[in-house]
Amino acid sequence: MLFRKTAALLSVVSAVAESQTGSTYQVIPDPSDEAADHDLAFRVFFQVKSSGGAADSTVDTKIQTSVDGVEWADVTSATQVGQDESIQEWSPALDLGPYVRAVTELGGTLPDHTCSVTLAGSGGFSLHKVA
């Protein structure tokens, strides 16, 4: 399947040693797109790099969704990154609710990390920043 539209959910370009919570976005399907709302498929591209820390260092990066923008559930996640590791991978994002955000969670001896999380859709959509 071709993913025609992309939007950044989280971008951490300067290495930090603290967990990150991206902005909350409302996902809005493009009404002029040929694909019906229920046919819109999503995938997420994760780029995550860890540096420093210790052998027990971990970085978990994931997408969360919500029906109300308050209570969150995990949708998909990247492969966990350990000390001085990096990944670049795609993951399906099934069952997105109307709100979405990306988060990183650090564990062990907190490593520095950078990341880029991009949402890709098979049809047109936009993200409206809520918080």
Structure confidence by residue, pLDDT tens digits, 80-92? 999 999 999 999 9
CA distance 87 to 98: 28
Q: Which domain holds residue 31?
A: 5-129
60 — phi, psi (to 5°)? Answer: -110, 130
Q: Does the pLDDT of residue 21 top 80, yes or no?
A: yes
* Number of domains the chain contains: 1
CATH of the domain at 32: 2.60.120.1110
Measure the CA–CA gap between 73 and 66, rounded to whole angstroms.
6
**pLDDT surpasses 70 at 43:** yes
The pLDDT assigned to 37 comes to: 54
pTM over 0.75: yes
- Per-residue pLDDT, 31: 75
Q: What are the tokens at 30?
A: 């493009």
For residue 13, what pLDDT band results from cuts at 50, 70 and 90?
very high
